[in-house]
Amino acid sequence: MQYMKQPHTHLPAKPQDSTYHTKNSAKNNIPIDKMKEECAVVGVFNCDNASLTSYYMLFAMQHRGQEASGISTSNNNKITTIKAKGLVTKVFSEKKLKKLKGRNAVGHNRYATAGKDSNDDSQPIFARYDLGEIAIVHNGNITNANKIKQDLINEGAIFQSNIDTEVIIHLIARNKKELLMPRIMEVMREIEGAFCLVILSRSKMFVMRDRFGLRPLSLGEITNKDGSIGYIVASETCSFDLVGARYIRDIDAGELIIFEQNESKETKMISIKIFDCNPKPCVFEYIYFARPDSIVFQKSAYEVRKNLGRQLAIEHKLEADIVMPVPDSGLAAAIGYSQQSGIPFELGLIRNHYVGRTFIEPTQKLRELKVRLKLNPIKRVIENKRVIVIDDSLVRGTTSKAIVQLLRNAGAKEVLLLISAPPTISPCFYGVDTPSKKELICANKSVKDVQIFIQADYLGFLSLDGLKIAVDKDSYHYCQACFDGKYLHDIDS
């Protein structure tokens, strides 16, 4: 497909104000009440305008991280990096993008799951070492990073950031192999946990995924103006659509791909299977993280979410006047519930997408105000109705409680809350920001007690068996540690 030729003057408009979910929620004394997205990674090789292509791809995946953004480009001689805290449109301008020269690039949107709120913790991480220059972007969480880091510090290593990704730089730099590729292969065998990595050298790009394939990473191709083919990788395929790229396939679990050019400037792609794998991708990508227009783990996120809603309707046969979503992530599941049950679908809550970080004081009144600023009920839709409201998850329960009260204040006769996922009973250690187990309400209370806490007339969750049916009844092989507590690794605390 032909690459969209967007001039720099057509950068997406900067929002006047924008929802900004980060670990600053804790800094602002507002406890998180959602499983927070991880990060987005981008790799671009042999593309006409690698920096602009990366920019648009990161823009399409802004939902995966709003704390910081960065891009590194290579012109085969030098790597240039620009990164800063903030949204993609805040970090990059036309002037900055013009400084990022070259046909190869890596990019990153950050949501902090390890490390602190610091620009030093932004990615890409750039380093000069004995083989030259590299820039690395990473989505996931290295579960044995603390042990590796301490061992490196004991050997004299000095760390500049608080993020686990820097461990990879040190492991590569200290390795004694003469070439970068074997160094990377050894590092892949040494680190554990969830990782999608894209490493840019001055002339090559290396892409890899952990042995379980926990986080998504897809491969696409793009047609340059001279007819040559460039390659891109990204956390979600919605970014391919924006730049006019064609989805080829997912990067396999445990796979390493090397992109390089031969003497004729033709791009060569080499694939090496590092591990014999038993893939266990994260099922929560379907439930909440991914944009609904993305293909995730070779399935449509939108269709899977509708299936979740249909299965909810099979498991929870309720009498009601309308079914409505908590926007936006509950939308597809609510459609599925409505289609299966025959209960009319309505948009009873309207989301304001431009709520800024305005909450400083930790008072319950302000937490309730935060919900009202983000969600506004349509009273004529809700008044005197028995309302089924569908959300994707229930973590602490505080937001659900505020939503129930919001609907009662709008005149709902009954509020029946359904969650299109099983109860969240365990924190995630694979690149997702979740509260501790003691803060997860479903880990400490029965469903009936949670219902009493949120003051709903009914509370129902999707069963674990129902989740398997909705996602893939014939071949369910997903990590669901947040629902069953069964982790894939020993967790390094």
Q: Let me know whether 47 and 139 are in one domain.
A: yes
Residue 295 is assigned to a structural domain of this protein: no
- What pLDDT does 432 receive? 81
Asked if residue 446 and residue 336 are part of one domain, the reply reads yes
Q: What is the pLDDT of residue 355?
A: 62
How many structural domains comprise the chain? 2
CB 118 within 8 A of CB 104: no
What is the rounded distance in angstroms from the CA atom of residue 119 to the CA atom of residue 67?
A: 9
- pLDDT score recorded for residue 433: 75
Is 437 inside a domain boundary?
yes
Q: Strands 132-142, 193-201: parallel, antiparallel or unpaired by DSSP?
A: antiparallel
Counting other chains too, the contacts that 444-452 makes at CB distance below 8 Å and 24 or more residues apart are 447/423, 450/394, 450/397, 451/417
- Asked if residue 274 lies in contact with residue 251, where contact means CB atoms within 8 angstroms, the answer is no
Among 279, 312, 336, identify where a domain stops.
Answer: 279
Token digits of residue 360? 């400083």
- The enclosing domain of 260 has a CATH number of 3.60.20.10
Is residue 442 marked as binding?
no
Residue 419 located in a structural domain: yes
Residue 403 CB partners (closer than 8 Å, separation 6+): 326, 349, 371, 375, 389, 391, 417
pLDDT tens by residue, the chain, 493 residues: 333 333 333 454 443 333 223 333 333 333 446 655 569 999 999 999 999 999 999 999 999 999 999 999 999 999 999 999 999 999 999 999 999 999 999 999 998 644 455 677 899 999 999 999 999 999 999 999 999 999 999 999 999 888 999 999 999 999 999 999 999 999 999 999 999 999 999 999 999 999 999 999 999 999 999 999 999 999 999 999 999 999 999 999 999 999 999 877 789 999 999 998 889 999 999 999 999 999 999 999 999 999 999 999 999 999 999 999 999 889 999 999 999 999 999 999 999 877 654 333 345 555 567 787 889 999 999 999 999 999 999 999 999 999 999 999 999 999 999 999 999 999 998 878 778 899 999 999 999 999 999 999 999 999 999 999 999 999 999 999 999 999 987 765 4
Q: Is 313 found in the same domain as 275?
A: no
CA distance 417 to 334: 11
Q: Which residues contact 111 (CB under 8 A, 6 or more apart)?
A: 21, 22, 36, 37, 38, 39, 64, 65, 66, 67, 433
Task: Quote the CA–CA distance of 109 and 123 in Å, as a whole number.
Answer: 8
Residue 282 marked ligand-binding: yes
Residue 484 lies in a domain: no
User: Domain boundary at 245, 279, 313, which?
Assistant: 279
Q: Would you say 72 and 133 are in contact if contact means Cβ atoms under 8 Å apart? A: no
Question: Which amino acid, residue 87?
Answer: L
User: So what's the pLDDT on residue 369?
Assistant: 72
Q: Is 196 part of the annotated catalytic residue set? A: no
Report if residue 4 sits inside a domain. Answer: no
CATH number of the domain where residue 379 is located: 3.40.50.2020
Give the HSE-up count for residue 486: Cα atoms under 13 Å, Cβ half-sphere: 5
- pLDDT confidence of residue 12: 47
What integer pLDDT is reported at residue 33 of this predicted model? Answer: 62
Alpha-carbon distance of 35 to 28, in angstroms, equals: 18
Q: Residues 212, 194: contact at Cβ < 8 Å?
A: yes
Contact (CB, 8 A) for 327 and 348: no
Task: Give a yes or no: residue 22 inside a domain.
Answer: no
CA 375 to CA 403: how far, in whole Å? Answer: 8
Does residue 479 have a known ligand-binding role?
Answer: yes
> Helix 398-409 to helix 447-454 angle, to the nearest 10 degrees?
50
Are residues 242 and 364 located together in one domain of the fold? no
Is 482 annotated in a binding site? The answer is yes
Residues 275 and 317 in one domain: no
**Residue 180 identity (one-letter amino acid):** L
Same structural domain, 196 and 263: yes
Q: Is 241 annotated as a binding residue?
A: no
The answer to whether position 27 is within a domain reads no
Ramachandran sector of residue 485 (left: φ over 0; alpha: ψ -120 to 50; beta: rest): left
329 is annotated as contributing to ligand binding: yes
Specify the DSSP class assigned to residue 212: T
Q: Which residue, of 236, 264, 279, is where some domain finishes?
A: 279
39, 47, 196, 442: which one is catalytic?
39
The reply to whether 428 sits in an annotated binding site is yes
Domain hosting residue 106, numbered range: 36-279
Q: How far apart (Å, rounded) are the C-alpha atoms in residues 270 and 259?
A: 7
466 part of a folded domain: yes
Could you read off the pLDDT of 123-159 as tens digits, one per residue? 999 999 999 999 999 999 999 999 999 999 999 999 9
